[in-house]
């Protein structure tokens, strides 16, 4: 079976975990600090704060920016549910703007129409490994005095022009095992703002500024040194992992027929967390079954856009239509592209897709 995802855990990660276990410091300690510093360097930011997951990192970042009841946060409807749920956790309301059909990312041309006096932040999601159009998003944010929190959970190391994602506003990353790098579970916040860094650290540790003095409500969102040790070793391999994903993409782009390959706009560097094609002839699900029968894993990210999820419709009353997000949900299919996909696997994927599409 050629799986859709595979964590690339090597001897270095195993040895690093054993070293932590032997050290006796197994909760948040020196490995977390070292991982935070190395991740900040990769992103090109001054500070990073590690948490237990991408979801808790998003939640923490929102709270650190003071987002709460009565506020609106503009985001994409075509994303993993955590992007929007983290807005709900704060008591604020997610407001969706439709996506650009080429990039699958938030369409910045629709942003201004979604702004109200309640709008506090924009939460662009760099989906599948591709940065959003940050110049346009930052211009709108500046014009209206809005906070920008980047959901970079799928885009470790991706470049917008010469800058890493996560360095434009407050950035958020996930280290779930399917991601371009993992810590088993884990998350990271990136920022250049010393006050946001401090606030995130306080929220992560039960609102504690001085030991056992709690001035505000916080949580236990601390990463352990065991997870940080894995994450730090993975970070050292991120460039290599991303290069392998890009190389696999080049082959698939050149060989696949009958499907629309992902796009990489000029000046951006995609890190292909997912290699997502469009099947526009209505046979997306049939192609998926065919691939499954031939031992090839594939996945639909995402079959239902967030604004159409049952909870959002029935409990929260969302009813606007987002035609491009809805069309993408019907047409997208992600194919294996991770570093463990071999040249022989790529040949099998290409011949199976092309054979099904009738364009061998
Ligand atoms: C776009 C996006 N946002 C947020 C998350 C949440 O991350 P986690 O699963 O680590 O909580 C994920 C990943 O799962 C994601 O893909």
Q: What is the pLDDT of residues 136-189, one digit of tens each?
A: 999 999 999 999 999 999 999 999 999 999 999 999 999 999 999 999 999 999
Structure tokens at 195: 């006050």
CB under 8 A, 24+ apart: contacts of 350-354: 350/251, 350/252, 350/255, 350/256, 352/290, 352/291, 352/294, 352/296, 353/256, 353/257, 353/258, 353/259, 353/287, 353/291, 354/255, 354/256, 354/257, 354/258
Q: Residue 54 Cα, ligand 1 centroid: separation in angstroms?
A: 5
Given a cut of 80, is residue 360 above it in pLDDT?
no
Given a cut of 90, is residue 359 above it in pLDDT?
no
As a whole number, mean pLDDT of residues 103-118 equals 98
Q: In testing the pocket of ligand 1, which one of 55, 60, 94 has its CB within 8 Å of the most ligand atoms?
A: 55
User: At 37, is the secondary structure helix, strand, or coil?
Assistant: helix
Task: Specify whether the CB–CB gap between 294 and 287 falls below 8 A.
Answer: no
Pocket of ligand 1 from Cβ distances under 6 Å: 53-55, 79-80, 82-83, 125, 151, 153-154, 174, 176, 187
Q: Residue 22 Cα, ligand 1 centroid: separation in angstroms?
A: 31
Q: Residue 103 Cα, ligand 1 centroid: separation in angstroms?
A: 19
CB neighbours of residue 86 within 10 Å: 28
Write the DSSP symbol of residue 150: E
Alpha carbon 40 to chain centroid distance? 17
Percent of all residues in the chain with a pLDDT value above 90, rounded to a whole number: 99
CA gap 77, 65 in Å, rounded: 22
Q: Residue 82 Cα, ligand 1 centroid: separation in angstroms?
A: 6
As a whole number, mean pLDDT of residues 107-122 equals 98
Task: Specify whether the CB–CB gap between 98 and 77 falls below 8 A.
Answer: yes
CB neighbours of residue 176 within 10 Å: 20
Q: Residue 156 Cα, ligand 1 centroid: separation in angstroms?
A: 12
Beta-ladder partners of 277:
333
Residues 6+ apart with CB under 8 A from 159: 131, 165, 268, 269
Question: Buried b vs exposed e over 187-204: b needs ≥16 C-beta within 10 Å?
Answer: bbbbbbbeebbebbbbbb
Q: Residue 242 Cα, ligand 1 centroid: separation in angstroms?
A: 18
Alpha carbon 143 to chain centroid distance? 26
The model's pLDDT over 304-352, given as tens digits with 9 standing for 90+, comes to: 999 999 999 999 999 999 999 999 999 999 999 999 999 999 999 999 9
Beta-ladder partners of 99:
106
Q: In testing the pocket of ligand 1, which one of 154, 156, 173, 271 has its CB within 8 Å of the most ligand atoms?
A: 154
Q: In testing the pocket of ligand 1, which one of 153, 170, 276 has its CB within 8 Å of the most ligand atoms?
A: 153
Which atom in ligand 1 lies closest to the alpha carbon of residue 187? 10
The model's pLDDT over 51-79, given as tens digits with 9 standing for 90+, comes to: 999 999 999 999 999 999 999 999 999 99
Q: Residue 209 Cα, ligand 1 centroid: separation in angstroms?
A: 28
Task: Specify whether the CB–CB gap between 270 and 262 falls below 8 A.
Answer: yes
């Amino acid at each position: 079976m050629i799986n859709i995802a595979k964590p690339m855990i090597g001897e270095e990660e195993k040895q690093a975990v054993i070293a932590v276990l032997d050290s006796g410091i197994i909760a948040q300690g020196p490995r977390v600090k070292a991982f935070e510093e190395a991740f900040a360097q990769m992103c090109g930011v001054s500070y990073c704060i590690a948490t237990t997951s991408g979801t808790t990192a998003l939640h923490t970042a929102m709270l650190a920016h003071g987002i709460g009841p009565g506020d609106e946060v503009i985001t994409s409807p075509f994303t993993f549910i955590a992007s929007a749920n983290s807005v709900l956790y704060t008591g604020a309301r997610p407001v969706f703007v439709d996506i650009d059909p080429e990039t699958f990312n938030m369409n910045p041309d629709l942003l201004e129409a979604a702004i109200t006096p309640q709008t506090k932040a924009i939460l662009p999601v760099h989906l599948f490994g591709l940065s959003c159009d940050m110049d346009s998003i930052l211009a709108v944010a500046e014009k209206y005095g809005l906070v920008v929190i980047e959901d970079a959970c799928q885009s470790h190391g991706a470049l917008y022009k010469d800058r890493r994602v996560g360095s434009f506003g407050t950035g958020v990353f996930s280290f779930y095992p399917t991601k371009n790098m993992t810590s088993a579970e884990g998350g990271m916040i990136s920022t250049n703002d010393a006050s946001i860094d401090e606030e995130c650290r306080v929220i992560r540790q039960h609102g504690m500024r001085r030991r056992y003095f709690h001035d505000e409500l916080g949580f236990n969102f601390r990463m352990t040194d065991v997870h940080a040790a894995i994450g730090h070793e993975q970070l050292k391999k991120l460039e290599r992992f991303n290069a392998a994903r890009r190389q696999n993409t080049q082959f698939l782009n050149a060989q696949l027929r009958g499907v629309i390959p992902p796009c990489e706009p000029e000046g951006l560097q995609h890190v292909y967390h997912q290699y997502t094609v469009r099947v526009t002839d209505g046979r997306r699900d049939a192609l998926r079954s065919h691939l499954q029968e031939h031992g090839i894993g594939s996945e639909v990210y995402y079959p239902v856009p967030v604004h159409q999820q049952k909870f959002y419709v029935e409990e929260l009353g969302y009813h606007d239509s987002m035609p491009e997000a809805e069309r993408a949900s019907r047409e997208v299919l992600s194919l294996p592209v991770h570093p463990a996909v071999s040249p022989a696997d790529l040949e099998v994927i290409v011949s199976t897709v092309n054979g099904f599409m009738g364009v061998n």
